[in-house]
C-alpha cells in the first residue's frame, strides 16, 4: 500500500502571490484553504455549539443529560459509518432504520423462542446481512437506482416487522443486554451503548482512508466508469458496502432493543433522518467521491448537542425533526457552496501556476481527487 499512497503534491508547487500562507517548505495546502475546509469549519462550529449549549441551556452539563444524549444517538451513529461510504460511492441506503428494526425483531423473537443470548445476536446479524445483501443484489446485479430500491426495502422490511409480531412489542429482553446498553463506563458519562460506535469509528476510518478498498470507494464515487476501466470491481465493492450497512443496522437494532427493553415493530422508526443528515452535514458530497469520516464525526457531535439542547428546552419531537430537516438542507447548500468556492480557488491557482495539478477543490478531502483521477495516483513525488 505504501507504494501507491495517494499523493497529489503538485510537481511545481510555487505559491500564488496572493496566498496568505508563509512560504513554508512547499506547503501543499495553504493555511486559509485548510482553515476554511469543511472539516475544520464544522469542527469549529461543533465546539461553538457545545459552548453555546453549556452557557445557555440549563442542565446540559448534567452528567445524566450527557449520558442520555449519547445513548439516544448510539444506534444512529453506528448506521452513519457504512452509509457515509455508500454515499461517497454515489449510492445510498435509506432502509437502514427498517433493517435495524427487523434485526431487532429477529433478535427478540429468537430470545422469546429460547435461544441463548449469543445465538440471538448471530440471528440478528444474519438478518441484517441478508437485508443488506438484498439491497446489494438489487443495486449491483439488477442495476436499479439505490435510492428507489432502498425506499422500497424501507417499507418492505418495516412491513415485515409488523407481519412477524403484529402490533405488540416482544418483551423480556436478556438482562445482560439491557444492563449493558443502559449502563455507562464506570466513572464517566460514556454510555456503553455508544461504545460499539467508538470502537468501529477508527476501524471505519482506517478502511476508508488507509486501504485500497477505501480508495476504490472514492474512485467509484469520483467516476464509476473511470474506476471500472481502471480495474476496480465496482459491483463487488458496492455489494460489500450494502452488506456492511445491513450489519451496522443490525448492531444498532440490538442496541435499541436493549435501550427499550423490548423488540418493537416500530423500533428505530424514522432514524434514517438523523443518519442521512449526519452524513451530508459531515461534508459527504451527494455527487460522490468526496468527504471524510472526520467531518462525519464532527457532524455527529453537532447533531447530538443540537438534539440535546432542543430536548432540554422541551421542544416537541415534531419540532426537533423539523430542526434536523433544516440542518440537512442547509448543510447540502453549504457543502455545495464550499465545493464551488474551493473549485474556483483551485482553478485560479492552476491557471496561475500553469501546472498539471488537477482542479480538485482542496477543501473537502485530500484523498478525493487523487483517486477520482486514478491516472495521477502513481505519480511519484519523491
Partner 1 sequence: MNPTKPHRRRLSGVAVLATLALAVAACGSDADTATESSDAPADDVETTQEPADDAGVTEEAGDTEASGECESGPITVGIIPKLGDDPYMTTVRDGMQKAADELGQGDEIIYTSPSEATGAAQIPFVQQLISSEVDVIAIAGSDLDSARAELAEARERGIDVIAFDSDVATDSRTLFINQAEASELGTKMLDSMNELLDGEGQFAILSSTQTAVNQNAWIANMEERLAADEFPGLELVDVVYGEEKADLSATRAVELVTQYPDLGGIIIPAGISLPAAATALSDSGDLGDVKLTGLAPASLISDFIKTGDVQDIWWNVTDLGYLTMYAAKAVSQCGVDGSAGTMFDGGELGEFEVGDDGEVILGPAQIVTPENVDEFAF
Closest CA to 341 of 369, 364, 309: 364
> Looking up cell 441506503, which residue turns up?
93
Q: 291 — phi, psi (to 5°)?
A: 120, 155
Q: Smallest distance from the beta carbon of 243 to partner 1, in angstroms? A: 26
Q: Is 366 in the site for partner 1 (CB under 8 A)?
A: yes
63, 189 contact by CB (below 8 A): yes
Stretch that binds partner 1, among 79-87, 124-132, 264-272, 353-361 (CB under 8 A): 264-272
Nearer to partner 1, 209 or 216 (CB): 209
Cα-Cα-Cα-Cα torsion 74, 79, 340, 225, nearest 10 degrees, comes to 160
Nearer to partner 1, 28 or 228 (CB): 28
Site string for partner 1, 175-194 (x = CB under 8 A): ---x---x-----xxx----
Q: Smallest distance from the beta carbon of 238 to partner 1, in angstroms? A: 25
Q: Smallest distance from the beta carbon of 139 to partner 1, in angstroms? A: 30
1-27 b/e (C-beta count within 10 Å ≥ 16 → b) = eeeeebebebeeeebeeebeeeeeeeb
Q: Is 382 in the site for partner 1 (CB under 8 A)?
A: yes
User: Which pairs from 347-355 meet CB under 8 Å and 24+ separation?
Assistant: 348/16, 349/16, 352/16, 352/17, 353/10, 353/12, 353/14, 353/16, 355/10, 355/11, 355/12, 355/13
Q: Smallest distance from the beta carbon of 228 to partner 1, in angstroms? A: 27
Q: Smallest distance from the beta carbon of 140 to partner 1, in angstroms? A: 30
Determine which residue in the list 297, 303, 306, 346 makes contact with partner 1, applying CB under 8 A. 297
Determine which residue in the list 9, 12, 14, 236 makes contact with partner 1, applying CB under 8 A. 9
Nearer to partner 1, 378 or 381 (CB): 381
375, 358 contact by CB (below 8 A): no
Q: Is 21 in the site for partner 1 (CB under 8 A)?
A: no
Element at 263 (helix H, strand E): strand 262-263
What cell does 313 get? 428546552
Cα-Cα-Cα-Cα torsion 69, 75, 79, 81, nearest 10 degrees, comes to 50
Q: Is 378 in the site for partner 1 (CB under 8 A)?
A: no
Nearer to partner 1, 122 or 322 (CB): 322
By rule CB under 8 A, what count of residues binds partner 1? 62
Determine which residue in the list 3, 225, 318, 354 makes contact with partner 1, applying CB under 8 A. 318
Q: How far apart are the C-alpha atoms of 26 and 33, rounded to whole Å?
A: 15
Count of beta carbons in the 10 Å neighbourhood of residue 30: 19
Burial (CB count within 10 angstroms: exposed 0-12, middle 13-18, buried 19+), residue 380: exposed
Segment 336 to 355, residues that bind partner 1, using CB under 8 A: none
Determine which residue in the list 105, 227, 259, 279 makes contact with partner 1, applying CB under 8 A. 259
> Looking up cell 442495476, which residue turns up?
143
What CA–CA distances, in Å, run from 340 to 335, 336, 360, 363? Answer: 9, 6, 10, 10
Segment 48 to 77, residues that bind partner 1, using CB under 8 A: 50, 54, 58-66, 68-69, 71-72
Q: Is 14 in the site for partner 1 (CB under 8 A)?
A: no
Q: Smallest distance from the beta carbon of 107 to partner 1, in angstroms? A: 15
Q: Smallest distance from the beta carbon of 60 to partner 1, in angstroms? A: 8
Q: Is 45 in the site for partner 1 (CB under 8 A)?
A: no
> Which residues contact partner 1 by CB under 8 A?
5, 7, 9, 25-26, 28, 39-40, 43, 46-47, 50, 54, 58-66, 68-69, 71-72, 168-169, 171, 178, 182, 188-190, 205, 209, 256, 259-262, 264, 266-267, 269-270, 293-294, 297-298, 301, 311-312, 314, 316-319, 321, 366, 381-382
Amino acid at each position: 500500500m505504501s507504494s501507491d499512497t495517494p499523493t497529489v503534491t503538485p510537481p511545481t508547487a510555487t505559491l500564488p502571490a496572493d496566498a496568505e500562507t508563509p512560504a513554508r517548505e512547499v506547503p501543499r495546502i495553504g493555511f486559509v484553504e485548510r482553515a476554511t475546509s469543511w472539516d475544520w469549519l464544522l469542527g469549529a462550529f461543533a465546539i461553538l455549539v457545545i459552548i453555546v449549549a453549556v452557557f445557555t441551556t440549563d442542565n446540559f452539563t448534567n452528567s445524566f443529560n450527557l449520558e442520555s444524549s449519547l445513548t439516544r444517538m448510539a444506534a444512529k451513529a453506528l448506521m452513519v459509518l457504512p452509509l457515509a461510504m455508500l454515499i461517497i460511492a454515489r449510492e445510498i441506503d435509506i432502509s437502514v432504520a427498517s433493517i435495524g428494526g427487523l434485526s431487532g425483531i429477529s433478535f427478540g423473537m429468537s430470545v422469546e423462542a429460547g435461544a441463548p443470548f449469543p445465538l440471538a445476536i448471530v440471528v440478528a446479524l444474519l438478518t441484517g446481512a441478508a437485508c443488506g445483501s438484498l439491497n446489494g443484489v438489487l443495486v449491483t446485479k439488477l442495476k436499479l437506482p439505490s435510492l428507489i430500491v432502498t425506499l422500497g426495502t424501507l417499507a418492505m422490511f418495516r412491513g415485515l416487522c409488523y407481519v412477524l409480531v403484529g402490533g405488540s412489542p416482544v418483551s423480556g429482553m436478556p438482562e445482560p443486554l439491557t444492563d449493558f446498553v443502559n449502563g455507562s463506563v464506570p466513572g464517566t458519562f460514556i454510555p456503553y451503548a455508544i461504545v460499539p460506535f467508538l470502537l468501529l469509528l477508527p476501524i471505519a476510518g482506517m478502511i476508508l482512508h488507509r486501504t485500497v478498498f477505501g480508495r476504490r470507494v472514492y474512485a467509484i464515487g469520483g467516476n464509476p466508469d473511470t474506476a471500472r476501466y481502471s480495474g476496480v470491481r465496482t459491483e463487488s465493492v458496492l455489494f460489500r458496502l450494502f452488506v456492511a450497512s445491513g450489519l451496522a443496522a443490525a448492531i444498532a437494532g440490538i442496541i435499541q432493543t436493549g435501550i427499550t427493553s423490548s423488540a418493537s415493530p416500530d423500533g428505530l422508526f424514522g432514524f434514517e433522518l438523523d443518519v442521512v443528515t449526519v452524513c451530508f452535514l459531515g461534508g459527504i458530497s451527494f455527487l460522490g467521491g468526496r468527504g471524510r469520516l472526520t467531518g462525519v464525526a464532527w457532524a455527529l457531535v453537532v447533531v447530538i448537542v443540537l438534539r440535546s439542547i432542543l430536548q432540554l428546552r422541551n421542544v416537541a419531537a415534531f419540532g426537533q425533526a423539523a430542526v434536523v430537516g433544516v440542518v440537512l438542507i442547509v448543510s447540502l447548500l453549504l457543502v455545495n457552496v464550499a465545493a464551488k468556492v474551493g473549485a474556483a480557488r483551485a482553478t485560479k491557482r492552476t491557471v496561475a501556476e500553469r501546472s498539471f495539478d488537477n482542479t480538485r477543490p482542496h477543501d473537502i478531502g485530500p484523498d478525493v481527487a487523487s483517486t477520482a483521477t486514478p491516472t495521477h495516483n502513481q505519480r511519484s513525488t519523491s
